[in-house]
């Protein structure tokens, strides 16, 4: 569906993306990386916003800027969202329908479905400027899933959402994913774990990993240990303390290490796999 | 048309400002002038040139605000891509404004002679200020500075411009000869639109 071929992007002398190669088909992909890793730049290149210095983005084997169907099939949510403050939410979404060439006789039902998906149907007649930050984010998700978008690119979709809305977002993605390519850029590992079938890890503009969530977890297999603080010094080799928690007054460290330890290892999580990759413990 | 309707609806109070000027403030000023000087065409010409051209970029600039200044500009840019240009919006809104001027001039033609020479001049002056505002908006990625610039230009040159070559306004306008300046103004307006469009294509993407 979407192919990214040898894509590089620089801003003046700073190279942000280094020869990215990706092939994304139907499914939900999580684009995971630290702040400044190049997630947003990659998404913007994939949306046709940035022209790359090298390489190209293809949609159904056609460069996106030449593809007639790409922009009709694209649903996009940028990090910053909010315009037409004086229109109602319904009107703002209607405007997006028109921009996206959704037939006017289908707009009304498409808007109703999208707003229902994000639990904003009762706010349809409210002005955009009266919506809270979280509601605005949900409105952004609604416009991205409007109609029959085949390609949905979401940049930090869950930023500012409360826990119940995050659950709702995950359910919405699960319902939508049947025949679509959805790419969710985030630095929240839990969101990827809950929503995505596949994960792409990007660090300093390079793809470190592209595969299933299970595969990423397995990178940390036999590398995760839960140790008491007092025993921390006993861990052999190079180590990285991932989490510190207090259980009944005893402080435990969740430690990542490449060296086999004398005590049993823990079941790895997606976060452990991700940290192994970015700490080069893989 | 649906997008244009929603863009204008989004202006709310600001949408009505040019209408108030065209259909309330200007007729009231003309009435005051009629009472004081009788049906004097030169004073009508001054009033029209003072009010009409400076409000020509008003709707365009307020509509472009969401495309240039709002947090949603990235999204709007991705969706609009090759379908829509800010130049297209600007020209459509200028045409809409000219249609409103036409209504006023139709009424004025019952009182004054020579109004159609003035009408032609006002169309070109409005186009010039709209093009200037569009160029500045595309260049600065901002709509406030162009608005202030076009208003300041209109006030300074209309009230104290005299015979400066930079002045697009003309005294009199009672015959074809008084339109001498207008082909040059029209040409500059077209150049501004062209340069503005090239700037829009180059700078808009990189400003995100």
The pLDDT value recorded for residue A92 is 93
Residue found under tokens 């600007």: B90
pTM, entire model: 0.85
The pLDDT value recorded for residue B150 is 92
Q: Tokens in use for B70?
A: 């709002």
Residues of B in contact with A104 (CB under 8 A): 2
CB distance B65 to B15 below 8 Å: no
CB distance A265 to A225 below 8 Å: yes
- A82, B72: Cβ pair inside 8 Å? yes
Cα separation, A122 vs A131, in Å, equals: 12
- A47, B78: Cβ pair inside 8 Å? yes
Q: Tell me the CB-side half-sphere exposure of residue A37, using CA atoms within 13 A.
A: 19
State the Cα torsion B97-B99-B105-B109 to the nearest 10°. 170
B66 interface with A at CB cutoff 8 Å:
yes
Cα separation, A169 vs A149, in Å, equals: 17
- Reported for A93-98, long-range contacts at CB under 8 A and 24+ positions apart, including other chains, are A93/A139, A93/A142, A93/A143, A93/A146, A94/B2, A94/B6, A95/B2, A95/B3, A95/B6, A95/B7, A96/A143, A96/A146, A96/B75, A96/B79, A97/A146, A97/A147, A98/B2, A98/B3, A98/B6
CB distance B68 to B140 below 8 Å: no
Cα separation, B179 vs B183, in Å, equals: 8
Burial class (CB in 10 A: 0-12, 13-18, 19+), B119: buried
Spatial CB neighbours of B42, under 8 Å, sequence gap ≥ 6: B171, B172, B174
Q: Among A143-157, A227-241, B54-68, B92-106, which stretch is predicted with the lowest mean pLDDT?
A: A227-241
Q: Among A192-201, B182-191, B195-204, which stretch is predicted with the lowest mean pLDDT?
A: B195-204
Residues of B in contact with A85 (CB under 8 A): 10, 70
Cα separation, B75 vs B79, in Å, equals: 6
Cα separation, B104 vs A262, in Å, equals: 92
B69 interface with A at CB cutoff 8 Å:
no
Q: pLDDT tens, A227-282?
A: 887 777 777 777 777 778 888 788 888 888 877 777 777 888 888 888 888 887 76
- B75, A86: Cβ pair inside 8 Å? no
Strands (E), chain B: none
Residues B13-40: what's their mean pLDDT? 89
Q: Tokens in use for B72?
A: 């949603």
Residues of A in contact with B78 (CB under 8 A): 47-49, 71, 74, 76, 78
């Amino acid at each position: 569906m979407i192919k990214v071929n040898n894509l590089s992007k620089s801003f003046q002398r700073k190279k942000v993306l280094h020869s990215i190669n990706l092939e994304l088909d139907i499914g939900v992909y999580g684009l995971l990386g630290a702040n400044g890793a190049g997630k947003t730049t990659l998404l913007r290149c994939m949306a046709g916003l940035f022209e790359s210095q090298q390489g190209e983005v293809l949609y159904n084997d056609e460069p996106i800027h030449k593809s007639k169907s790409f922009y009709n099939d694209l649903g996009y949510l940028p990090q910053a969202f909010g315009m037409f403050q004086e229109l109602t939410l319904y009107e703002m979404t209607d405007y997006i329908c028109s921009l996206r060439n959704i037939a006017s006789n289908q707009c009304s039902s498409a808007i109703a479905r999208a707003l229902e998906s994000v639990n904003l149907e009762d706010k349809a007649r409210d002005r955009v400027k009266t919506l809270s930050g979280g509601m605005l984010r949900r409105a952004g998700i609604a416009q991205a899933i409007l109609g029959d978008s085949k390609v949905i690119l979401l940049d930090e979709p869950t930023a500012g959402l409360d826990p119940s809305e995050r659950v709702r977002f995950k359910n919405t993605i699960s319902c939508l994913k049947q025949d679509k390519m959805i790419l969710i850029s985030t630095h929240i590992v839990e969101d990827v774990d809950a929503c995505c079938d596949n994960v792409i890890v990007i660090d300093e503009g390079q793809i470190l990993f592209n595969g299933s969530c299970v595969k990423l977890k397995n990178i940390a297999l036999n590398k995760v240990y839960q140790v008491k603080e007092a025993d921390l010094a006993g861990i052999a080799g190079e180590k990285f303390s991932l989490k510190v928690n207090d259980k009944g007054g005893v402080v435990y460290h969740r430690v990542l290490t490449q060296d086999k330890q004398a005590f049993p290892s823990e079941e790895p999580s997606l976060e452990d796999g991700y940290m192994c990759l970015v700490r080069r413990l893989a | 048309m649906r997008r244009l309707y929603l863009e204008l609806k989004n202006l709310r109070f600001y949408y009505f400002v040019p209408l108030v000027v065209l259909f309330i403030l200007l007729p009231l000023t003309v009435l005051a002038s009629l009472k004081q000087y009788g049906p004097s065409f030169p004073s009508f010409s001054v009033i029209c040139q003072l009010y009409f051209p400076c409000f020509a970029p008003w709707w365009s600039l307020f509509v472009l605000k969401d495309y240039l200044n709002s947090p949603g500009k990235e999204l709007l840019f991705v969706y609009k891509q090759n379908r829509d240009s800010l130049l297209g919006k600007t020209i459509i809104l200028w045409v809409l404004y000219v249609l409103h001027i036409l209504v006023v001039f139709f009424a004025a033609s019952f009182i004054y002679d020579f109004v159609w020479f003035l009408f032609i001049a006002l169309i070109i002056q409005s186009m010039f200020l709209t093009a200037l505002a569009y160029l500045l908006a595309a260049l600065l990625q901002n709509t406030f500075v162009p608005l202030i610039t076009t208003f300041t230009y209109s006030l300074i040159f209309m009230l104290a411009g005299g015979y400066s070559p930079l002045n697009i306004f003309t005294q009199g306008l009672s015959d074809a000869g008084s339109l001498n300046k207008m082909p040059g103004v029209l040409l500059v307006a077209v150049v501004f639109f062209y340069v503005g469009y090239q700037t829009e294509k180059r700078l808009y993407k990189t400003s995100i």
